[in-house]
Amino acid sequence: MIYLKTPEEIEKMKTACQLLSKTFGEIAKWVEPGVTTNKLDTVAREFMRDNGAKPACLGYEGFPATLCIEVNETVVHGFPSNYGLRDGDIVGIDTVLELDGFNADMCYTFPVGNVNPDVMSLCITTKESLYKGIEACKVGNRIGDIANAVQTYCEKRGYTVVREMCGHGIGKSMHEDPEIPNYGRRGTGPLIKNGMCLCIEPMINLGSRNIVIERDGWQCRTKDRKPSAHYEHTVAILNDETQILTTFDYIQEVLGDRFI
Ligand code: MF3
Ligand code: CO
């Protein structure tokens, strides 16, 4: 069941997404070699709560933390820990907050210190593919158009697309229909309509597309242990435009010329 949102509901989504984007600005201040991913989790959890929001991942189907932490080969749903980030790592941070009954979801992969150019290119392409997906995300198109835009962009550049994990609708629940794969055929899947709120989130690998889910049922890594990148925005579809509700601007303010 796909829930179409009223203009009032989209305003609430926008407010939640603004606060989530600011949370990433706070996290960005701490991302550097030596910081533990537990520390990042605490910063995010406290900032959300101080601003009246609920850290929606914490306790979601048993997930143990506020942030999903994706260091290097981790694709999605990694747990924060006492691991200290190292020069040359990339760390995807993916999280959801709930404010006034509505959810906002966003992910950004940060370079830590000096990152190998091949891995930087993976991150840049993944982020660009997110915007290619968003360009295809408009009234009258189909979900397969988003999927195909992401897949084509990444595979042309020699990367592979994780198939087991998808984007999704969002609203009063963090995961709503439809599923949004990052691979597929143009002109297939559900029609994109006015009032939809969607999360587009390419997960792209440097090596093979195969993944392994750890025995905890959550943490997901590449099978070949090569790096994976992940970026995500929440968007709202209106008849005359698609609005990107989350923004990386607060991250950019903090990172300056280290922003990718
Ligand atoms: N963006 C992630 C997703 O849609 C957020 C997961 S939160 C978790 O799967 F609680 F499920 F980990
Ligand atoms: Co998501």
Does this model's pTM top 0.75? Answer: yes
Q: Can you give the pLDDT at residue 250? A: 98
End-to-end CA distance of the chain: 36
> Among candidates 112, 38, 20, 18, which has minimal Cα distance to 72?
112
Q: Are the beta carbons of 105 and 254 closer than 8 angstroms? A: no
Closest ligand 1 atom to the C-alpha of 201? Answer: 1
Q: Which residue do the tokens 């260091």 mark?
A: 71
Rounded Cα–Cα distance for residues 252 and 108 (Å)? 11
What is the Å distance from ligand 1's center to 120 Cα? 24
Tell the residue nearest (CA) to atom 11 of ligand 1: 57
Closest ligand 1 atom to the C-alpha of 232? Answer: 1
Tally of CA atoms within 13 A in the half-sphere of 107 that contains its CB? 31
What is the Å distance from ligand 2's center to 179 Cα? 10
Q: Can you give the pLDDT at residue 54? A: 98
Rounded Cα–Cα distance for residues 88 and 112 (Å)? 6
Tell the residue nearest (CA) to atom 8 of ligand 1: 57
From 70, 77, 200, the mutation candidate for ligand 1 (largest count of ligand atoms within 8 A of CB) is: 77
What is the Å distance from ligand 1's center to 67 Cα? 9
Which residues of the chain fall short of a pLDDT of 50?
A: none
Helix (H) or strand (E) holding 54: strand 54-55
Q: Can you give the pLDDT at residue 220? A: 98
Q: Which residues surround ligand 1 with Cβ inside 6 Å?
A: 57, 60, 63, 68, 77, 94, 96, 105, 107, 168, 201, 232
Q: Can you give the pLDDT at residue 107? A: 99
What is the Å distance from ligand 1's center to 95 Cα? 6
What is the Å distance from ligand 1's center to 249 Cα? 22
Peptide bond into 178 cis (omega under 30): yes
10 Å Cβ neighbour count for 185? 12
Return all residues near 89 (Cβ < 8 A) that are at least 6 apart.
Answer: 71, 72, 112, 113, 115
Decide: helix, strand or coil at residue 4: coil
Enter the tokens of residue 116: 């190998």
**For 182-241, how does the pLDDT look when each residue is reduced to its tens digit (9 = 90+)?**
999 999 999 999 999 999 999 999 999 999 999 999 999 999 999 999 999 999 999 999
Q: Can you give the pLDDT at residue 204? A: 99
